[in-house]
Structure 1
Amino acid sequence: MNRKTLVLPAVIGLLAPVLAACGGSDGGSGGGDAVVVGTTDRFTASKEAPAPLDPAYAYDVGAWNILRQTVQTLMVQPRGDGQPVPEAAEKCGFTDTGNERYACTLRDGLKFANGDPVTAADVKYSIERALSLKAATGVFSLLSTIDTVETQGDREVIFHLNTADATFPFKLSTPVAGIVNPDDYKKDSLRDGFEVDGSGPYTMKPEIKDGELAKAVFTKNPHYKGSLKVNNDKAEIVSFADAQSMGTALEKGDIDLMTRAMTPDQVRKLSEDTGGDVDIIEVAGLEIRYLGFNTDAPTVKDKAVRKAMAQLINRNELVSAVYGSQAEPLYSMVPASIPGHSNSFFNTYGEPSVSKAKAMLESADVTTPVKLTLNYTTDHYGAATKQEFEQLQKQLNDSGLFDVEIEGIPWKVFNPAELKGEYDVYGMGWFPDFPDADSFLAPFLDKDNALNSPYTNVEVINKLIPQSRREADRLSAADSLTRMQDVIAEDVPLIPLWQGKQYVAVRDDITGTAYALNTSSSLQLWELARGVSG
């Protein structure tokens, strides 16, 4: 087959409810060698973050991609996009008109991988555990609208919410709501290390090298009972130090597929080359990149400094220089393809302007040039991150208003340090918990936010977030969602930079790649199998 780029449009998500499999672990082709997926995600356990794969702690796309294969949730996002559908549950739904009481019935005969029965009490235990542990990552905040969890018998679970939350079914599809066995996960402490147990489609055996998870080996769980059709008996995720070594492994046939994070050059070359047995597939994605601020830090505490940066950054120039057609400028934390999106930063600042930025700083009596360090992670969002921050540095320094240095830090150090507030300005990426505007706003603006940011806005927390969640029709939430985006542009606790496409590079004999990733960048290993591609 000629090497080519296959574009899978977002409309594929509209077909998801029709195409979604309703099987169990006995479906699919199975057999053959393991399907091997490469990634540059690094999985480390440290003193600061000893439990990277505990559902009550994990809050990054790499860890979630391990958990989604192993720890079952009541609901699951279907192929592509669309409303979540029952997974460990047989049925779920709101039982009141105010979206404050949500009831689920577990599938009959549900078991953990070790054969223990999964009961409503286990669901209650798992949810209450995540809420009570309040891990430093802030992932528990996804469940913050839960007031109490009630069980009725072994199969009925009822969630009583403290406020209306139309997005709640989505939240039950995220790993923090994963069902764990009380025998494996203590209620009062996180589970250190890389062991994971659950009732999902696979069991996982970690292979550790130099204190890192070098390979995760997934074997089909014979006790799995859910909505997913498992198309292989075995799959592996292999972690690489960089995109180049991952690409070499794909060319040699040591791995079958690679996802994040390929470099822009790799994507371009694979798209342009002909011949060979590797295809590049473009999949609709919702990844964004942004700058975050410790708004209590002396260097950026004055809002005028943050506003001046927002006024100076040239997103078109940044994207063109680093990512080309693989990304688009972003003027809101909410991607353009999500209902409720508003170009709030463009509406507020317009085109980049040195004179406007200078006037902002002069009006606030800020001495220039403002000295800052932009911190970024060297090994989590791809090799192009350094080039991206060099561009940001150049744009700000060329204005004469800033004296910016940049510093790259490995993720295992960067992430805990950011949560402790050690960086004044830092670069981050975001892969949504679920495809809704709420997932691009509430994690950054609500109480117990994902960045542990000191920034708060009473209007957003007490009025706008609850107001938006009352609307089951998400288009009806547009006014409150737009106002939240305008608040971010006004106060600048964050600066959105760009939204990106996502790509899968795969060898010709692997099938199911159309659904290997969904728009939230969730890896769906169960879709993959060996076969003859068309």
Structure 2
Amino acid sequence: MTSRRARARVLGWLAVSVLLLAGCTEPAPPPPAPPPGSPTPTPRPYLTVGTTDRFTQPDPAGVTTQASSGLAYTVFQRLMTVPAVGPDEVPVLKPEAARECVVSSPTTYECTLNEGMTFHNGHELTSSDVKFSIERALRLDVDGTAVPLLSTLRRIETPDELTVRFVLNRPDNQFGFALATPAASIVDEEVYDPDELRPIEQTVVGSGPYRVSELGTDEVRFDRFARYVGPAGGREQTLLVRSFADSGNLEQAMTDRQVDAVWRGLGSAARTRLTTQVESSTDGRSDSGFAPTEIPGARVHRLWWSPTSPARENAAVRVAVRDSLQGERILDSIVPPTVWGYAPAFEVGGEPTTEPRPRRTRLVLSYDSTVPDGEDLANVVRSRLEDGGDLSVQITPDLAEADLFLLDEKAWTSTPSAWLQRYLEHPAPGSTTRVGELMDRYRASTVPEESEGLLSELQQQAAADAVLVPIAQAPEQIWLAQGVTWVPASFGPGHQLTLSGLGRG
């Protein structure tokens, strides 16, 4: 255990810095202008969070991004929640909209709702809404959502207004965690269409600690819901989340005191600059008055083969991509070492032996342009792939269709099954049956040693298939202005930022 923790710490410190230092020669941009002279500016009426993330999908049945999942965890409720855990800690299910949930048989999961719950529009929340919401998510089956984690569900029964009974088609010890994901969020069946995602311009109706009162392209206003029933009520009457174009604009907003908290969006140069200011200060704050808190291991980079890429069918090309990154790879499994069930599977370091191929393969690599350092990391990956020989890589950000995607994402929950989800949905050709059998055995297992062995086999198979390739793991940072505090409730089950734990004082 000691070596594992030490290794996790090493991964966290080295993850992004090694890749950037190895592959980026662009000089750091100059710092923004010095902050205004007054160290104690007049506070804004609303606590404001700055980020480069954008809320693109307010309907929880269609949530595929980290920003939109944060909105879902803030505005909607689920039967269960999973408090975010630290390295080597096992995640524990806790009730949210449910008073309790029990496993009444190997294939039956029964929940009793809290009494007196209502949606933001005043409509009563009952078991019928829960049934409607989960069946709707399964029916819409939006690609990239957490819906596959609900795959063992056979039917839902509602014997009364407060009881929801889930009947599974096979034993699944992970089903409770699926009920804590955005796909299991509860929506008002009187408002939401059963067959279509709700248009973004229409009112967002949930039952969570905050309601959306204004939803714009660059700014979202949240107001506390006074009738919220659950474990993590809001601390502020009103919160704003502002999306900035890039790291430079976000850092300038900190300098100009336009934000009170910053979550994701600061590039490596900005983080280095601010950290230097903090280390040289007497109060542990940057020149603009912000102090950082690190969340170990919360940022993970992986490379994902699109299931529709023609080149993906060629095992030799997949292996070439995997092995070309070996010398720079810091993360050695698609399940991070900070998650229970991790097992090393990918080679790390050294010089890989790559076999020459008869013809050059051309690939398109895409990444999310809102991700801090996304362009730099994409260029590092391209350099490594092309250095390996026989590969040409074109980089285009924000594509819907590409051969490879550079991912900077969090799993829906801090569980191995959630981290494995992308791979489980689309293993390499020929591995589908074996992977499905291993996962079914893991879901049914009640013996920890057996479970760990099955997870190890899955991770080894993932390394052989090479359709999802780990690259690096690093801490995530939240920067808070003087007087702003946060509590663990600020984070969703997979370290997604929610707003209920942020407040002044």
The TM-score with structure 1 as length reference comes to 0.79
Q: Which residue of 1 aligns with 2:270?
A: 266
8 A Cα contact 1:314 1:395, kept in partner: no
Give the SS at the match of 1:469: helix
Which of residues 119, 134, 141 is equivalent to 1:127?
134
**Structure 2 segments unaligned to the other structure (5+ residues):** 1-8, 10-42, 282-286
Q: Distance in 1 between matches of 2:365 and 2:403?
A: 8
Q: Which residue of 2 aligns with 1:18?
A: none
Q: Distance in 2 between matches of 1:456 and 1:134?
A: 24
Q: Distance in 2 between matches of 1:146 and 1:408?
A: 38
8 A Cα contact 2:305 2:312, kept in partner: yes
Q: Which residue of 1 aligns with 2:96?
A: 87
Work out whether 1:433 is the aligned partner of 2:412: yes
Q: Distance in 2 between matches of 1:335 and 1:79?
A: 15
8 A Cα contact 1:56 1:135, kept in partner: yes
Change (3 A) 1:115 1:279: same
8 A Cα contact 2:83 2:92, kept in partner: yes
Work out whether 1:367 is the aligned partner of 2:346: no
The CA deviation at 1:455 is 4.8
The CA deviation at 1:518 is 5.4
The CA deviation at 1:314 is 3.9
Give the SS at the match of 1:299: helix
Q: Which residue of 1 aligns with 2:354?
A: 357
8 A Cα contact 2:50 2:250, kept in partner: yes
Which of residues 403, 407, 421 is equivalent to 2:395?
407
RMSD: 2.3
1:145 alignment partner AA: T
The 5 Å alignment of 1:227-242 reads 227-242=231-246
Q: Distance in 1 between matches of 2:432 and 2:139?
A: 24
2:79 alignment partner AA: L
Change (3 A) 1:456 1:39: farther
Change (3 A) 1:135 1:110: same
1:206 alignment partner AA: E
Which of residues 444, 454, 473 is equivalent to 1:470?
444
Q: Distance in 2 between matches of 1:505 and 1:519?
A: 20
Moved more, 245-254 or 296-305: 296-305
Q: Distance in 1 between matches of 2:449 and 2:411?
A: 18
Q: Distance in 1 between matches of 2:147 and 2:453?
A: 27
Q: Which residue of 2 aligns with 1:500?
A: 474
Q: Distance in 1 between matches of 2:406 and 2:368?
A: 11
The CA deviation at 1:183 is 1.8
**Structure 1 segments unaligned to the other structure (5+ residues):** 1-8, 10-30, 45-51, 319-328
8 A Cα contact 1:296 1:454, kept in partner: no
Change (3 A) 1:175 1:297: closer
Change (3 A) 1:436 1:242: same
The CA deviation at 1:484 is 1.0
Change (3 A) 1:430 1:474: farther
Q: Which residue of 2 aligns with 1:343?
A: 344
Q: Distance in 2 between matches of 1:238 and 1:456?
A: 46
The TM-score with structure 2 as length reference comes to 0.84
Change (3 A) 1:107 1:502: same
2:459 alignment partner AA: Q
Which of residues 286, 292, 299 is equivalent to 2:304?
292
1:202 alignment partner AA: Y
Q: Which residue of 2 aligns with 1:380?
A: 370
Q: Which residue of 1 aligns with 2:189?
A: 182
The CA deviation at 1:205 is 2.1
Change (3 A) 1:242 1:526: same
Identity of aligned residues (%): 25
Q: Which residue of 2 aligns with 1:14?
A: none
Change (3 A) 1:43 1:514: closer
Give the SS at the match of 1:409: coil
Give the SS at the match of 1:236: strand
Which of residues 105, 113, 117 is equivalent to 1:106?
113
Change (3 A) 1:428 1:281: same
